[in-house]
Structure 1
Amino acid sequence: MSKRELKKEAILLAGMGVMKSKGYNGTSVKDIVDAAGVPKGSFYNYFASKEQFALDAIDSVAEDARAYAKQALGDENQCAVQRLRAFFSSGIDCAAGNDFKVGCFLGNMCQEMADSSDVIRARLDQILNAKTRLIAQVIEQGQAQGSLSADMPALAAAEFLFNAWEGALMRAKAAKSRQPLDAFVLMLERILS
């Protein structure tokens, strides 16, 4: 990575920490540069706008999430049911490890910005659809293996699971409790059995 890319990455990571806790609207450019320890003018050397910063933050989080999802869901040494359980279980561990304060950055951005920025909404929709398709592929593999019911449409089941998961994360954040996530797991087990 060049010096410029390293500096941009440092600003991005510092600013993402602020945006994860305060949201898009609660985060100013000043908050981002203060967190990064750089002058305000430096921000505009790397990002055309706060919206562009948010898009880069979304892409960064999505890339990490995509890499993890491919690793967890793509481990064909485990059956499809085990992969789905492990994928969602690790998400619960992450939420609990953050005391249910953070939720899903992509889900939070979607709730906050889908009506305010069409470009952010479209990027989030594309990323969330890709994640849903990964889950659908695992469901299809489970159906082919006979470990999951073949009579449920894989993509619809993946949509349901992923949307229920995002809702459970939101509720866990509101309740500061794992109870909504435990309810999700209870229903997940019924779907997977």
Structure 2
Amino acid sequence: MAAQTDTRQHILDSSREVILGKGFTAVGLSELLSVAGVPKGSFYHYFRSKENFGEALLEDYFERYLERMDRILKPDGRSAAERIIRYWTLWTESQEAFEFGTRCLVVKLGAEVSDLSENMREILHDGTERVVTRLAQCLMEGIRDGSLPQTLKPVQAALALYDLWLGATLMTKLRHDTHAFKNALLATRQMLQIQ
């Protein structure tokens, strides 16, 4: 059973980079098989179709992303305001390291697959809702610990911030510069009233 899980995970892990580079529809099954180094039969043993593979890829992405997010935002002696700024700083660093591409499957695949697959759109929607929920929780902790303003509406602010940072990631990719991240961080600090 472990070998099966390992093979399935290997297909997902090895394919992620090519999907991040080219997108979902531009990558054919033969390229996925080549990158993963598995025969067609192995692919279809784990995934009913390329769409089913895409669903699994997104589910795996969000599972890993949310685990990292939980580690960054968990209470650790720092204020919630410090933790939320650290989250956005790490977001910026992870995107900049990819040389104006994107490490974010939401940005890379959001518009592309939402019109092609209702199942993939739902996974993207549910995953982003879980991201926003975690951001809102951290903002609520900031209100409680006094590091964020009492007037802040955590859910609205979390959604606005996530939208802002997704847009900044897209604009960084389009412009091939990091000004959008600098502006997003400034807007984040202003919205949250953090010096």
Partner SS, residue 25 of structure 2? coil
1:73 aligns with 2:77: no
1:80 shift after superposition = 0.8
Rounded to whole Å, the distance in 2 between the matches of 1:75 and 1:172 is 30
Rounded to whole Å, the distance in 1 between the matches of 2:51 and 2:72 is 31
Which residue identity is paired with 1:115? D
Aligned-pair RMSD on alpha carbons?
Answer: 1.2
Which residue identity is paired with 2:175? A
Which residue identity is paired with 1:17? E
Residue 100 (structure 2) aligns with: 100
Residue 7 (structure 2) aligns with: 7
Partner SS, residue 99 of structure 1? coil
- Is contact 1:103-1:169 (8 Å) kept? no
Aligned residues: 193
Rounded to whole Å, the distance in 2 between the matches of 1:152 and 1:136 is 10
Residue 191 (structure 2) aligns with: 191
Which residue identity is paired with 2:127? I
Q: What does residue range 24-43 of structure 1 map to in structure 2 within 5 Å?
A: 24-43=24-43
- Is contact 2:15-2:36 (8 Å) kept? yes
Paired-residue identity, %: 24
1:103 shift after superposition = 4.3
Deviates more, 1:143-152 or 1:80-89: 143-152
- Is contact 1:103-1:173 (8 Å) kept? no
Point out 4+ residue stretches in structure 1 off by more than 4 angstroms. none
Unaligned runs of 5+ in 2: none
1:181 aligns with 2:181: yes
The TM-score with structure 1 as length reference comes to 0.95
Residue 22 (structure 1) aligns with: 22
Residue 114 (structure 1) aligns with: 114
- Is contact 2:139-2:154 (8 Å) kept? yes
1:17 shift after superposition = 1.6
The TM-score with structure 2 as length reference comes to 0.94
Rounded to whole Å, the distance in 1 between the matches of 2:57 and 2:9 is 10
